[in-house]
Amino acid sequence: MSVRLLPDYLVNQIAAGEVVENGASVVKETVENALDAGADQIIIDVVDGGRTLINIVDNGGGMSRDDLEKCIQRHATSKLPDDNLLNINFMGFRGEALPSIASVSDMTIDTCNGADSNGWHLDCNTGDVRPSDWQSGTRIRVQNLFAKTPARLKFLRGDRAETMSILDVVKRLALARTDVGFVLNNKWRFPKNQDLMERIVAVMGEDVRGRMLPVDTESGSASGMKLSGYISDPTLRRASSVDQFLFVNGRPVKDKVLVGALRAAYMDVMHAREFPLCALYLNLPNEMVDVNVSPTKTEVHFLEPNHVRAFIIKSLREVLAKTMVPNAPVANDGKMYFRESFGSNTNAHINRSVSAVFQPRPVNSGFFTENKNPDFDNSVSVHAVPRTDTNVDDIFENRPLGRVVGQIANKYILAATADSLVVVDQHAAHERITYEKMRKHEIKSQPLLTPIVVQMRAEDVVAILSVADEMRASGLAVDAFGDDAIAIFEKPADWDMNWANVLHDIADEVRAYGHSAQLNEKLHLKLANHACHHSVRAGQKLNFEQMDALLRDIERTEHGGECNHGRPVYKFIPLTEIDTWFER
Ligand code: ADP
Ligand code: MG
């Protein structure tokens, strides 16, 4: 066999293997091109998760006829004016994206740069350019993705999962450029010139409002690093890294050094299986970082990774430390409490909440086991409460959440420690306990006389069966019931949910996350969310024994400080705070 140069179309398809993994990578590359062309409004439409159509319209500078002809040639770029790979100021620079995408799809480009009286249309399959009535900016239409390379088509996931990956790409770019407007499928809208905090809320959800802490630090002149953006207060967390957005010199990245530094900064205040939220922008001189590491440009090489890491950890710890009150009590394990400092805090707009970090003790009794009846009407508790106990120090020593004082509005439990008043959200507390028990496989299940049968599509049945073991560990025993139904044979005794919803939800998660480490977490979260409708509701009257049992259970529960939705479970009002009310 003699050596030969591969034909262009093959070279491009090989390159596409690296650059174009799915619809999301097409959207990433084309939107980055639009940004590089100076667009401030980008409209993205995708059909069937990008498989059938990806349409990107931008109002950027457009291309001349000449540039249009060149842009789909390999390594054709307008973005390396000084040929210096260490001084990159555009999102793109490799000149690979358009030829790669064109080689695995049916692509057309319409563009107009304003200099010509008309626009131009390029059919990338034939290479033909003809005049068009396109008025300004550029439209890229990518149809039939991977139809030319069927082997790759097989790797695309379900439409919903693919659309979610595309949304993720758009969110990352939307946070990179708050000055630019983005619209995806007319459904997800990020208006241009949005304030950073508003865009964070638009990207991450309403629940983050008022709970993100501002970051703004500089390393000093030597290394010239600057870190800005927002990180979540420790009570706000997710079960996966979905809401971690990291940027290096304006470029969205998924970099191990940065992710590791973020985790290290939260080490003392968050469990390793939970993830803080952030939109963090690291800026450093171009010569300190190499962005030309991976074809997709999401990884970077730092010249001095240890400096970067140390700078980030120090910066974030300083921000997190401000959420701690200096005289906070220390739990038995020596960990610090977080607590609200009502009114007196400098960052009054940040609604900081309490998150105590208790090490769990072995669970041998408690609210859950003692109170089988979900209505708690005639439950008998083994927790005798010495309510007249006078040795407050002793109480505090053993009970970080203190002794019960009473209930307000059938909604909150009031308790007192040696130096604080504690307010506990009874519903959130029970929800947290359920979730943790599920995670630790402490939910007991009960066989059903008649199985519950849920009709599902064949692929959903397959998805559910693939996590049957994990579901059993959470108290649910399921099996296939023909090709298109799932039967539930065992379930936790007092869980009566809409099982069709639960199973479809889980099937979606499996398909979106595959068998990743996050899946288990997702599964528990889904179940806990459904189960939470069976938790102690707000509006339920509790007696002292029930309230005490709930407090003691929460103390034993890992992450007892927040419910599954990240809302706080309890707050401390320090005595010193109360003293100021009465001018003492
Ligand atoms: P790169 O972005 O690395 O230069 P691409 O293959 O993504 O490589 O694009 C090739 C060239 O096509 C770009 O350098 C740019 O000149 C031109 N181009 C691509 N998309 C657009 C667009 N939306 N508007 C204007 N010019 C574009
Ligand atoms: Mg590009």
Q: How far is the CA of 51 from the centre of ligand 1 (A)?
A: 22
pTM above 0.85, yes or no: no
Distance, CA of 432 to CA of 525 (rounded, Å): 10
Residue 101 has pLDDT above 90, yes or no: yes
Number of Cβ within 10 Å of residue 259's Cβ equals 16
Distance CA 226, CA 220 (A): 9
Range list of β-strands (E), 113-263: 119-123, 128-132, 137-143, 181-184, 188-190, 212-218, 226-232, 244-248, 251-253
Tens digits of residue pLDDT in 16-44: 677 788 999 999 999 999 999 999 999 99
Contact 322, 339 (CB under 8 A): no
pLDDT (mean) for 97-116 = 93
Report how far ligand 1's centroid is from the alpha carbon of 77 (Å): 6
* Cα-Cα end-to-end distance for the chain: 94
d(CA 479, ligand 1 centre) in Å = 51
Percent of the chain's residues with pLDDT above 90 = 37
Residue 446's pLDDT band (boundaries 50, 70, 90)?
confident
pLDDT in tens, 349-382: 333 333 333 333 333 333 333 333 333 333 333 3
Q: Is 59 in the pocket of ligand 1 (CB under 6 A)?
A: no
pLDDT score of 343 more than 70 = no
Judging by beta carbons within 10 Å of its beta carbon (0-12, 13-18, 19+), is residue 133 exposed, middle or buried? exposed
Q: Are 331 and 556 spatial neighbours (Cβ–Cβ below 8 Å)? A: no
Cβ–Cβ under 8 Å, residues 287 and 251: no
The answer to whether 119 and 112 have CB atoms below 8 angstroms apart is yes
**Cα distances (Å, whole numbers) of residue 212 to 85, 126, 201:** 36, 51, 10
Give pLDDT tens digits for 491-531: 887 677 778 878 887 887 777 776 666 677 777 777 776 66
Instruction: Provide the mean pLDDT of the chain.
Output: 80
Which range, of 44-58, 287-301, 406-420, averages the lowest pLDDT? 287-301
Most distant CA pair in the chain: distance in Å? Answer: 94
219 within ligand 1 shell (Cβ under 6 A): no
Pocket test for ligand 1, best of 98, 101, 140, 291 (most atoms within 8 A of CB): 98
- pLDDT-wise least confident of 405-409, 416-420, 454-458, 549-553: 454-458
Residue 46, pLDDT score: 96
Tell which residue, 340, 550, 271, has the closest CA to residue 429.
550
Question: Whole-angstrom Cα distance, residue 274 to residue 293?
Answer: 29
Q: Tens digit of pLDDT for each residue in 147-170?
A: 988 888 888 888 888 998 899 999
The pLDDT of residue 324: 59
Q: Which atom of ligand 1 lies closest to the CA of 113?
A: 25
Lowest mean pLDDT among 132-136, 200-204, 410-414, 504-508: 504-508
Dihedral (C-alpha) 417, 422, 424, 429: value to the nearest 10 degrees?
Answer: -50
Q: Is the pLDDT of residue 535 over 70?
A: no
Atom of ligand 1 nearest to the CA of 32: 2
Chain segment 175-184, per-residue pLDDT in tens: 999 999 999 9
